[in-house]
């Protein structure tokens, strides 16, 4: 049976790869250092595939057909769709066996995800995946979550979906080691006058709630309340789902940077399973 060796979540702002130099150097360096840290941990774990949960941006779906959840089961996934993203377009290898196991496993646990054998992945997946696997050789199972267009699942439902994904991975006997990643957020506004605004108070509260293990204060936050922090902030559903896949893990907020030049609150959170924890806990932003 497969072991989830590590989990983490990170922001997927397109400017992090399209124009990274636009950010203040110290902020940029701290953020990328945190991404390097989780990449090194994944490499050291020997993960054979990554399951990446993220929203997408009307790349595969639109208002005429907008599933809440979709599992990419293809042998490969073309991306990124954006030519300007600063990441070479390529065919990223998939893992159909693991993807089918997640599809069937989540269905038996009460969810009804759609399925696609021909997903095209945009910056929502590719910025974070490229930081993890620059050579694009780590097999990827993309799991699309509708994070911004009503009707929307709640944070509690996102957590429960992540729990179902984690259980399905652990029941799969075709691999030994799998990493789970959430991508999106943190607070940001898109296509409205508040573009560039960042809700630092919400972001820090959210990261602290993750460190606390996703208590009811987080999971019971209403969708309308969540939207107050930005119409793109709902992408944190992917972070909550990632946490749900690793219940009981030690969670550490490695970095947070309110980078206005990237119009995004940028963060990285690490989830270490009990039997995979480093002897010394990584530094949290809350104890610096």
Print the SS3 string covering 145-208: ECCCCCCCCCHHHHHHHHHHHHHHHHCCCCCCEEEEEEECCCCCCCCCCCCCCCCHHHHHHHHH
In a domain, 287, yes or no: no
Compute the CA torsion angle 179, 244, 255, 147 (nearest 10 deg).
100
Quote the domain boundaries for residue 86.
3-276
**Residue 177 scores a pLDDT above 90:** yes
Confidence of residue 173 (pLDDT cuts 50, 70, 90): very high
In a domain, 120, yes or no: yes
In a domain, 173, yes or no: yes
CATH of the domain at 181: 3.40.830.10
Print the SS3 string covering 194-226: CCCCCCHHHHHHHHHHHHCCCCHHHHCCCHHHH
**Structural domain total, the chain:** 1
- Taking each helix axis as running N to C, give the angle between helix 236-245 and helix 155-170, from 0 to 180 degrees, rounded to the nearest 10: 40
Higher local confidence (pLDDT), 239 or 275: 239
In a domain, 66, yes or no: yes
Q: Give the model confidence (pLDDT) of 75-103 as tens digits.
A: 999 999 999 999 999 999 999 999 999 99
Q: Give the model confidence (pLDDT) of 42-85 as tens digits.
A: 999 999 999 999 999 888 888 888 899 999 999 999 999 999 99
In a domain, 286, yes or no: no
In the DSSP assignment, the letter for residue 109 is T
In a domain, 283, yes or no: no
Distance CA 121, CA 142 (A): 8
């Amino acid at each position: 049976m497969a072991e989830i060796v590590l989990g983490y979540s990170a922001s997927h702002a397109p400017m992090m790869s399209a124009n990274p130099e636009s950010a203040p150097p110290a902020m940029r360096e701290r953020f990328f250092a945190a991404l390097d840290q989780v990449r090194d941990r994944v490499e050291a774990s020997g993960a054979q595939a990554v399951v990446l949960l993220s929203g997408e941006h009307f790349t595969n779906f639109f208002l005429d057909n907008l599933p809440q959840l979709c599992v990419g089961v293809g042998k490969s996934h073309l991306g990124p769709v954006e030519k300007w993203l600063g990441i070479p377009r390529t065919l990223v290898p998939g893992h159909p066996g693991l993807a089918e196991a997640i599809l069937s496993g989540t269905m038996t646990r009460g969810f009804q995800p759609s399925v696609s054998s021909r997903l095209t992945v945009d910056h929502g997946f590719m910025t974070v995946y490229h930081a993890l696997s620059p050579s694009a050789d780590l097999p990827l199972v993309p799991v699309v979550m509708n994070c911004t267009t009503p009707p929307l699942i709640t944070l509690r439902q996102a957590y429960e979906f992540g729990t179902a994904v984690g259980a399905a991975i652990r029941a799969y006997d075709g691999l030994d080691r799998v990493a789970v990643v959430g991508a999106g957020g943190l607070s940001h506004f898109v296509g409205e006058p508040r573009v560039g605004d960042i809700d630092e108070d919400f972001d820090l509260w959210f990261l602290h709630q993750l460190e606390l293990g996703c208590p009811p204060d987080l999971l019971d936050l209403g969708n309308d309340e969540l939207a107050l922090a930005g119409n793109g902030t709902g992408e944190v559903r992917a972070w909550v789902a990632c946490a749900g896949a690793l219940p009981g893990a030690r969670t550490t907020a490695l970095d947070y940077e309110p980078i206005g030049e990237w119009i995004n609150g940028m963060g990285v959170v690490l989830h270490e399973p009990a039997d995979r924890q480093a002897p010394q806990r990584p530094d949290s932003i809350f104890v610096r």
